[in-house]
Structure 1
Amino acid sequence: MFSLHCRDSGRLGRSLGFGTTPLNGSRFDRGDGDGYPNRRTWALDVVPAGSRSAMTSSISGDHVPPPDDPWRSRSPPLSTLRLFDAAGRHLSFARAASELNLTPSAVSHGIVGLEKALGVKLFIREPGRIALTREGADYLTYVSEALSLIHIGTRRLPSPRSGRTLAISCAPTFASRWLLPRLPTFRARHPQIAIRIDTSHRHVGFPIDGFDLAIRMSRIPASMPHGIRLFDDWLIPVCSPAYRDTLTGRDGGVDLTRATLLHVTSVTEDWQAWFDATDARDAQSGDTLHVDTFGLSLEAAASGLGIALGRRSLMDRELQDRTLVVIGRAVPAATSHWLVGSERGDDHQDFGRFRDWLLTEAARFADEQKQRFPLPSFGQN
């Protein structure tokens, strides 16, 4: 089975400093036309596999506390941290008790014991309500995401009945237009492998967020030391056949100055990149329509609202059924599609099977596209 799953991003890797590496938008393009802003993205450098002491060192610096270190003696029991996490999320001892199948009194006493052990007041208690102190709110960030990391690690362990789920992160448009149509061939070959596809608008950190693989667009390979290039892409102006006819003069030429250009606000490569590459700056139109996703721009173009700057890999369906037609020159995009994985992915058999299948599909797709649409341009249909 596979599922589409969305959840909020975690901050544990950034909070605890697991060798995080900032990747800004110019190097790791999260702005891929699915509502992802061009914003700072984080990747996590994974410590050597199986090294618990290495992870402890990552958390606390180069110093690994000895058994009698006060740092260890101050670490509270996991059970009290679960009480604090639930109470902090709900801001209610009663609701926390309901979630944990305890009594409100038990939760309250557990929190008091935690505060005494830490020597810090975590909650402000008032008649009928509780609130986190500044220290409590800060501590909750670490505790909640540490518990989440434990949950992710437990979930990723193989069960006696089945293998571990393969978790993949990619953009919604890429998932719906490229990955899902090809996934049945993988499922037919490996029906025993469970797959989870996450298309939420969030950063991904390996291994904190529980993903095995991510598919991203990037400009510079150095931004992803464990990345494998899937295929390149091209920027292509497209519109509906009827809209093209309204722009075609008696000589058969297309007058772009009369067109409405559809801009996608979440991408880094838009019309300006195409005009710069084609030296067609004089053809820029003053009429524009802005949308926030790549898919929406294609729908708007198919509806006759203007010309979209499409990516060749993600609009095969429209080009085949001629819902959209090419109306200008194709230019190479600065970003390519990359497969990114955790350092520990090779330890996971299903990881290798999926990676090999995906690379084969990507190579086949790239060859098909070169034959169907030879560069440097498509010509006008």
Structure 2
Amino acid sequence: MRSLTLPPLKSLIAFEAAARNLSFTQAAIELNVTQGAVSKQVKLLEEYLGKELLVRTTKKMELSANGYEFYEVVRDSLTALADGTEKIRDLPSGQELTVAATTAMASLWLMPKVSSFRAKNEDIELRIIAADNLNDQAQSDIMLNYFRDPPQGCKASALFEEEIFPVCSPDYLKKYPALISPEGLSDCTWLYLEDMQKDWLGWQDWFDGLGIPAPSPKHRVKINSYSMLMQACLGGQGIALGWSYLVDDMIKSGDLIKPMSQMLKTGSKFWLVESGGYTRNKRSVEVFRNWLIGLLPSLEADRR
């Protein structure tokens, strides 16, 4: 058997982290080393291979064609190595699984369902991180977020498509009966989501997507948290844009209603994204993914 030709392991680990994050800085934080150390290891690897792997400019970093191909090989190899190490060490079955989600998705959609997961998987300890700007996949095993296109270098499973429509409380509709059509929106207060992620749509985007001229609202209230915005909507303070699945439980209970039939389908989706790096929690990730995706058919049936 011929001897194996392998580059230095340190350079592979540094490259995997840099390629997954597309950032030397984030890779350095994750590996607890300096940015210069990561850059040096990647450069050594490129010299060893005689190929450029990461294309660095003043504004961003991208994988070259060779870099993307080699990244997949390194990612899969390190994952296999980590899994094999775990089996040999015979780690205990109990594991902590970190799930990151936007505050809206965590509070309005995920948390009401967590008890059913815990009842079936007592050996997995859930750690849920809720943040409005999820841009660091390295800190979680799974991320639940909205994307037009999921991030590269990660395994992504589509959960549900984006459907957007106005919602208000029943009492608010009684106060403003003209809300049964988009034209009636000019008489009421619009609740705006401020400081939203770049992929989330606002009122103007909603009108543009439907090809309807946007009227001017009588009043505006800007809120920088979608969960708080929904609380204001429930309290009859105005009308807001509702995202399907996130507001379905409130509509089903009658606390919110859809006053008009117009709905925008953008083709974008909410995704379950798994870290592209190696993880000890591979089994727990698979269990959580399969559980969550398994819920979707019944949730879709409830919406009909």
Considering the TM-score relative to the shorter chain, is it more than 0.5?
Answer: yes
Alpha-carbon RMSD across the aligned residues, in angstroms, is 3.4
Q: Which residue of 1 aligns with 2:247?
A: 315
Rounded Cα–Cα distance in structure 2 between residues aligned with 1:205 and 1:288: 32
CA offsets 1:158-215 (integer angstroms, 9 cap, x no match):
99665221111111221122112112222121111111111145545454x2x21111
Q: 1:325 aligns with which of 249, 254, 257?
A: 257
Rounded Cα–Cα distance in structure 2 between residues aligned with 1:282 and 1:164: 50
Change in Cα spacing, 1:335 to 1:43, as seen in structure 2 (3 Å) is: farther
Rounded Cα–Cα distance in structure 2 between residues aligned with 1:312 and 1:327: 14
Change in Cα spacing, 1:247 to 1:291, as seen in structure 2 (3 Å) is: same
Rounded Cα–Cα distance in structure 1 between residues aligned with 2:120 and 2:100: 21
TM normalised by structure 2 equals: 0.66
Name the SS for the 2:217 alignment partner.
Answer: coil
CA contact (8 A) 2:159 2:271 kept: yes
Q: Is residue 269 of structure 1 aligned with residue 250 of structure 2?
A: no
Q: 1:241 aligns with which of 152, 170, 192?
A: 170
5+ residue gaps, structure 1, are 1-12, 24-41, 45-55, 65-152, 373-381
Q: 1:350 aligns with which of 284, 293, 297?
A: 284
Change in Cα spacing, 1:364 to 1:346, as seen in structure 2 (3 Å) is: farther
Q: Is residue 220 of structure 1 aligned with residue 184 of structure 2?
A: no
TM normalised by structure 1 equals: 0.54
Alignment of 1:1-381 (within 5 A): 18-21=18-21, 60-63=41-44, 162-201=93-132, 203-207=134-138, 209=139, 211-221=140-150, 223=152, 225-248=154-177, 255-267=184-196, 268-328=200-260, 329-333=262-266, 335-343=268-276, 344-345=278-279, 348-369=282-303, 372=304
CA-CA distance at 1:57 after TM superposition: 7.3
Name the SS for the 1:325 alignment partner.
Answer: coil
CA contact (8 A) 2:95 2:123 kept: no
CA-CA distance at 1:359 after TM superposition: 1.1
Rounded Cα–Cα distance in structure 2 between residues aligned with 1:191 and 1:252: 47
Rounded Cα–Cα distance in structure 2 between residues aligned with 1:305 and 1:206: 36
CA contact (8 A) 1:264 1:297 kept: yes
Change in Cα spacing, 1:346 to 1:368, as seen in structure 2 (3 Å) is: farther
5+ residue gaps, structure 2, are 1-12, 28-36, 46-81
CA contact (8 A) 2:137 2:143 kept: no
CA-CA distance at 1:225 after TM superposition: 4.4
Letter in 2 for 1:183: V
Change in Cα spacing, 1:331 to 1:354, as seen in structure 2 (3 Å) is: same
Moved more, 184-193 or 274-283: 274-283
CA-CA distance at 1:58 after TM superposition: 6.5
Q: How many residues align?
A: 234
Identity of aligned residues (%): 23
Rounded Cα–Cα distance in structure 2 between residues aligned with 1:43 and 1:231: 30
CA contact (8 A) 1:175 1:199 kept: yes
Letter in 2 for 1:173: A
CA-CA distance at 1:269 after TM superposition: 0.3
